Chains A and B, each alone.
Chain A
Amino acid sequence: MDPALYRVVANRRETSDVSSLTLAPLKAEMAVAPPRHGQFNMLTAFGVGEAAISVSRSSRLSGRDSGQGLHTAGAGSIVHTIRDVGAVTHALCVASAGSLVGVRGPFGQGWGAEDGDWLAEGDVVVVAGGIGLAPLRSVVDDLAGRSTDASGRLRGRLFVIAGAREQAQVIFADDLARWAALGAIVSVTVDVSTPGWTGHVGLVTAQIAPAGIDPGGARALVCGPEIMMRFTAAALEKLGMDPSRIFVSLERNMQCGLGWCGHCQLGPLILCRDGPIVAYGGAVTHLMRERER
């Protein structure tokens, strides 16, 4: 499966090591299929390699433009938010407007938020650590966009708990503020406080019990480092949430994205196909302790 050619329309610096690329297909007929919330693409930095990167916003998801030129980028445009951790992600993070990248996808199971009126069913709890907010941004935008009353306020309770190493590493600060203004219950917590930080200090799990979540009927979407997801899921379970309504994103190493190579296998799961988003509980609770192959 050859990658489709996309042009970098904008490269926005989110933090010192995270950038959001707005990509538009070089030709409309080349565009990959519309992504669902939480799906990922394989992005190619030509001459360097390929990496799995979640869709953080797309013109086809009901996301909004927050200064990333999505509307002007046109139909089929997508935003990927990338943390520079190695050769491929570095090349993507420094890709300048006008340069070309390859896109294969979209792959995997998403959060499933398109399929119902979640906020009418119960509390929705989004817990993200670091770059983990990327695949959750479009879900929150969508829920917020679809579930507002005549006065523009949210109909239902949407909790957004975001953790970061320190204030300078908090991504999507403008989105977090916008969601809070719509009535979402947003709390941001950092591991390390720096001068000027007046918010919470501590693990995301510390924000769960005091939040006032009603566990019956609640649904949780969790994305971040796996250790953080395990502790978060355990804290949500302790609150009384049904583990089958806690969803985690298992972002293990991927290669083909097509269910062929087995690189992403975790127990019985082929994560590029059966994941990355899976319900916590049952076998997944134990599988999350397995080391990557």
Chain B
Amino acid sequence: MKQDIADLISTHPLLAGLSVDLIGEVAGCAVNRVWHAGELLITEGEAADTLYLVRRGVVAIEVNAPASGPIVIETVGPGGVVGWSWMFPPYRWHFDARAAGAVGAIAIDAACLRDKADADPELGHRLTFRVAGVLLERLQMTRVRLLDLYGSSRAR
């Protein structure tokens, strides 16, 4: 069973290319899960205890506005990663994450992953760089979206 999960993890872009040993360590913290359309993977304010590697479907990152209800800020598709708040105290989610349709993702227990990363500096180092790479990409995309490219003639 863990071997199946290790295979799934090794094909996800976040961790693809890591050694079999390191993937095995991560697999020890991971389960494969599915969600139906509309179900929440993450709820704002709750304990941030999981890293999700999306395999199938689309996850909508949302924030609730009193007047209009949930506003989708971003969607994350196959190969994407959901959930960063498990990395830093106070380990609380800042947004909701909802399955926009049927979603399949590997759910990695964050406390288990943090412990393993502390115990094995190589895992910690590689994981930190991989996660930073994805965060950088997301930050860059967010910056470009701030330009309101299609709305403003200044940014044409």
Contact = CB atoms under 8 A, between A and B. Distances in A.
Interface of A: 85, 129-130, 163-165, 169, 189, 191, 193, 195, 197-203, 205-207, 209-210, 224-228, 231
Contact of A203 (B71, B80, B145): B145
Interface stretch (B25-33, B40-48, B146-154): B146-154
Contacts of A165: 148-151
26 contacts: A85-B153, A130-B149, A164-B150, A165-B149, A191-B148, A193-B72, A198-B100, A200-B75, A200-B77, A201-B73, A201-B74, A202-B75, A202-B141, A203-B141, A203-B145, A206-B141, A207-B77, A209-B13, A210-B79, A225-B156, A227-B144, A227-B149, A227-B155, A228-B144, A231-B141, A231-B144
Nearest to A226: B156
A129 B60 CA distance: 21
B155 A200 contact: no
Nearest to A230: B144
Nearest to A238: B137
Contacts of A169: 150
Q: Looking at chain A's contact residues, is the secondary structure mostly helix, strand, loop, or mixed?
A: mixed
Contact of B149 (A191, A198, A209, A210): A191
Given A165-B151, A169-B150, A193-B71, A202 B145 contact: yes
Given A191-B148, A201-B60, A201-B75, 9 more contacts: A129-B150, A191-B149, A193-B72, A202-B141, A205-B144, A207-B77, A209-B13, A210-B77, A227-B144
Contact of A209 (B58, B60, B79): B79
A38 to B, nearest CB: 18
Contacts of B124: none
Nearest to B78: A210
A191 B151 CA distance: 10
User: Which of the four size classes fits the interface of chain B?
Assistant: 20 to 34
B19 interface: no
Interface string B1-23: 00000000000010000000000
Nearest to B79: A210
Contacts of B71: 193
Contacts of A130: 149-150
Contacts of B144: 203, 205, 227-228, 231
Pairs of residues from A and B, 7 with the lowest C-beta to C-beta distance, nearest first: A130-B150, A193-B72, A165-B150, A210-B77, A225-B149, A203-B141, A200-B75
Contacts of A191: 145, 148-150
A130 B150 CA distance: 6
* Central interface residue in A203, A207, A224, A228, by most chain B CB within 10 Å: A203
Contacts of A203: 141, 144-145
A244 B73 CA distance: 34
Contacts of B73: 193, 201
Interface in B58-104: 58, 60, 68, 71-75, 77-80, 100
A210 B68 contact: no
B55 to A, nearest CB: 11
Nearest to B72: A193
The residue in A130, A169, A189, A202 that gathers the most chain B C-beta atoms within 10 A of its C-beta is A202
Q: Which of A193, A195, A199, A226 has the most chain B CB atoms inside 10 A of its CB?
A: A193
